[in-house]
Amino acid sequence: MIILAGMSFIKLFIRCSRQLPVVLLLVFSSLACTSDKTDDNVVASIGGFEITEDHFRNSLMRFYHRTGQAVNLNPDVFKAVVDSRIDRYAVVEFARERDWHTTPEALHQKAMIERKVYMEEYERNFIHENAIVTETDLRELFRRLNTRIRASHLHATHREKADSLYMRLQNGETFDSLAAEIFQNRQLASSGGDLGYITVDEMDVAFEDIAYRMRQGEISRPVKTSTGYSIIRVTDIVQNPVITETEFARNLQQIRPLAYDQKRELALRQDMQEAIQNFRISDELVRDLWNQVQRQRNIYFGTHYEAGHIPLDLPRNLSEMKLVESADFNFSVGDFLVESYYTPVPRRQAATDFYSFRDQVNGMAYRAYALKRIRGFEGLDEDFVNGSIDETFYSYLFGLFEEYLDGQVVITDAEIVEEFEKNGEYYMKPLELNMAEIITGSELDANRAYQRLQEGAPFDVMLKEYGIDKRAEQTGGVLGYVSVDEFGVLAPSLANIETGDLAGPFQVMNSRYVIFKCLGRREAERLPIEVAESRIREYLHNARKSDLRDQKISETRRSYNATIYTEKLNSVHIEL
């Protein structure tokens, strides 16, 4: 993992903690099947579900690698992996008993999942093969990871508006004046659309790709992003001055997946753009349809789970008319009403004028075009697709199960008072520290800075001389008061620090080191019950919910005869 040159330690820790190996709900790479018959290949079953040797083996290996290959694969681990899957299917059986899977909303959700899975297969079979990552790409990404860019932008919801803004810039109007005109957000309007410093994987991939190709002071042509169009102005570029071959080699395995993700996303955008360029769209018909949408906004922006389409009241002959045509593809008004039904309401609401609505129609047509291609693809693994749809839908049912549990738990005021009187010391406002930090690019620089600080050198001088975060110079590296818990694994080392003390250097990532100076501390204190009430309620609710979850799953396991075939399970051959 790489520290980005302009990232504070707190921000870095929060970001990196999301990427630490965690034991999540296990998802089989090969999916469990339903069957009325048990064979010699099955290691466990519950109700209509069977877990085969292959399902178990694949799941175990995924679990093993997710935990950093630090788990001793023994019979207890085998059983825990299978138990986790049985519990998941117990929840599915619980949901089926209550017909949660047959409600109009659930059927709509499953259809949405089906389309999503097919679109993922379209990308895998038609897009990913074009996403080739070379060593040059990896080196460029490593450079970007060690570079911060300060950028401003002008945003438009459609190409016509973006082109108009760009022409006004070409004709002499200023970036700042246009930002003040178009942005309703005060900060963006008053700052010339300033987005601050950006780093890799923080912005739209197309925005980021163009911004990192630009020179300081340069202004881009309109860039298509996932939310419209942006005209980008780069106002500053700060690069880590030390980017060594050793660092590149050390971080290569972390860089490669991100490089592929970005390549694939850009390739998908390119495929979509090329398809839309080949579409012949009827602007006249789109405008008629937009006028109908404007008159029936409540219908177009509604859900209509039982309808199977957006039930706009249109003239009878309109539904068969073609909105979009290409050499081997047609997209009618009726098709549009169906695709709209499978488009989330917030996305539909993003159409605010004719031009953005036309972009929306093109986007829906592209999705219909892609679905047609993948459903007719001879190499499609239908069993895998259907299994993926089912497993994802089971996650939806699991969410309904969690909502059901929430509704069953009731916490009374008397229980809150009792818990507070019994365990009030657990409901504390934590210790808060106001820290200043210096992040360096090497252990040597960290030790030098720390030594000079101990000798009395001013903190801001050392920050300027050794710190790699140039933005921090504007604030003196001050983080402000934050809970000591937010320092993560460093919290124990900082818990007893006093105002004026130094702490560090601490290695936080590969070749990044941090030094802290304590500017102030606020001691932990017991909260009054009025303040602690929400935390107590949350704790009691979660504890009660956990017990109820275990109870319902256990009951369902018994009802559906959950069985682990221990001898068969322990005889499964595992190759590491």
Q: What is the pLDDT of residues 557-570, one digit of tens each?
A: 999 999 999 998 88
In-domain check, residue 575:
no
Residue 68 pLDDT: 63
Nearest to 231 by CA among 154, 126, 313: 154
Which parts of 79-218 are beta strand (E)? 147-156, 194-198
DSSP codes joined into one string, 350-387? T--SHHHHHHHHHHHHHHHHHHHHHHT-TT--HHHHHH
Structural domain including 465 reads 428-526
- The helix or strand, by DSSP H or E, that contains position 232, with its residue range, turns out to be strand 228-239
Tokens representing 83? 């138990």
Q: Provide the sign of the torsion angle of the four alpha carbons 542, 548, 550, 556, taken in this order.
A: negative
- pLDDT band for position 433 (cuts 50, 70, 90): very high
Give the Cα separation of 75 and 57 in Å (integer): 13
Residue 574 pLDDT: 78
> What's phi and psi for 49, nearest 5 deg?
-105, 140
Vertex 120, ends 210 and 130: CA angle to 5°? 50
* Contact by Cβ (8 Å): 240, 147: yes
* Contact by Cβ (8 Å): 129, 260: no
The arithmetic mean of pLDDT across residues 109-125, rounded, is 95
> Does 5 have pLDDT greater than 50?
no
* Contact by Cβ (8 Å): 270, 205: no
* Contact by Cβ (8 Å): 556, 90: yes
> What's phi and psi for 524, nearest 5 deg?
-65, 145
Start-to-end CA distance of the chain, whole Å, equals 25
In-domain check, residue 205:
yes
* Contact by Cβ (8 Å): 391, 27: yes
301 and 219 both lie in a single domain: no
Give the Cα separation of 60 and 574 in Å (integer): 9
DSSP 307: T
Token look-up 């990427």 returns: 19
Tokens representing 389? 């749809």
In-domain check, residue 331:
yes
In-domain check, residue 560:
no
Residue 27 pLDDT: 39
Domains contained in the chain, number: 3
> Does 512 have pLDDT greater than 60?
yes
* Contact by Cβ (8 Å): 545, 409: yes
Q: pTM of the prediction?
A: 0.78
Give the Cα separation of 192 and 175 in Å (integer): 6
Give the Cα separation of 381 and 391 in Å (integer): 16
Range 414-423, long-range pairs (CB < 8 A, 24+ positions): 415/540, 416/529, 416/533, 416/536, 416/537, 416/540, 417/529, 419/536, 419/539, 419/540, 420/529, 420/532, 420/536
- The helix or strand, by DSSP H or E, that contains position 62, with its residue range, turns out to be helix 53-66
In-domain check, residue 103:
no
Q: pLDDT per residue over 513-529, tens digit each?
A: 999 999 999 999 988 99
- pLDDT band for position 511 (cuts 50, 70, 90): low
Residue 32 pLDDT: 52
Vertex 337, ends 334 and 341: CA angle to 5°? 145
185, β-bridge pairs: none
438 and 356 both lie in a single domain: no
In-domain check, residue 106:
no
152 and 233 both lie in a single domain: yes
Give the Cα separation of 405 and 548 in Å (integer): 7
> Does 420 have pLDDT greater than 90?
yes
Ranking 27-41, 89-103, 356-370, 420-434 by mean pLDDT, the lowest is 27-41
> Does 16 have pLDDT greater than 90?
no
- CATH number assigned to the domain comprising residue 494: 3.10.50.40
233 and 286 both lie in a single domain: no
235 and 284 both lie in a single domain: no
Give the Cα separation of 261 and 263 in Å (integer): 6
In-domain check, residue 404:
no
Residue 74 pLDDT: 84
Residue 245 pLDDT: 80
509 and 438 both lie in a single domain: yes
Q: Biggest alpha carbon distance in the chain?
A: 85
Q: pLDDT per residue over 144-179, tens digit each?
A: 888 889 999 999 999 999 999 999 999 999 999 999
> Does 97 have pLDDT greater than 50?
yes
* Contact by Cβ (8 Å): 9, 51: no
Residue 63 pLDDT: 75
- pLDDT band for position 200 (cuts 50, 70, 90): confident
Give the Cα separation of 372 and 211 in Å (integer): 35
Give the Cα separation of 69 and 576 in Å (integer): 9
In-domain check, residue 549:
no
445 and 362 both lie in a single domain: no
Per-chain mean pLDDT for the chain: 87
The pairing of beta strand 280-281 with beta strand 322-326: antiparallel
Backbone dihedral region of 222: left (phi > 0), alpha (psi from -120 to 50 degrees) or beta?
beta
Tokens representing 245? 């071959």
Residue 70 pLDDT: 59
Tokens representing 25? 């709900």
- pLDDT band for position 118 (cuts 50, 70, 90): very high
How big, in percent rounded to 5, are the helix, strand and coil portions of the chain? Answer: 55, 15, 30
Q: pLDDT per residue over 220-243, tens digit each?
A: 999 999 889 999 999 998 887 666
The arithmetic mean of pLDDT across residues 210-218, rounded, is 94
CA separation, residue 105 to residues 21, 64, 95, 215 (Å): 34, 37, 14, 50
Strand 33-34's sheet: what is its strand order?
A: 33-34, 49-52, 42-46, 563-564
Vertex 64, ends 59 and 66: CA angle to 5°? 95
Give the Cα separation of 10 and 437 in Å (integer): 10
Q: pLDDT per residue over 462-497, tens digit each?
A: 998 888 776 787 789 999 999 999 998 999 999 999
Give the Cα separation of 545 and 410 in Å (integer): 10
Residue 393 pLDDT: 97
155 and 206 both lie in a single domain: yes
> What's phi and psi for 406, nearest 5 deg?
-55, -40
> Does 197 have pLDDT greater than 90?
no
Size of the chain in residues: 576
Instruction: Mark 209-224 as b/e (b = at least 16 C-beta within 10 Å).
Output: bbbbebeeeebbebbb
Q: Which of 366, 401, 417 is the last residue of a domain?
A: 366
299 and 359 both lie in a single domain: yes
232 and 168 both lie in a single domain: yes
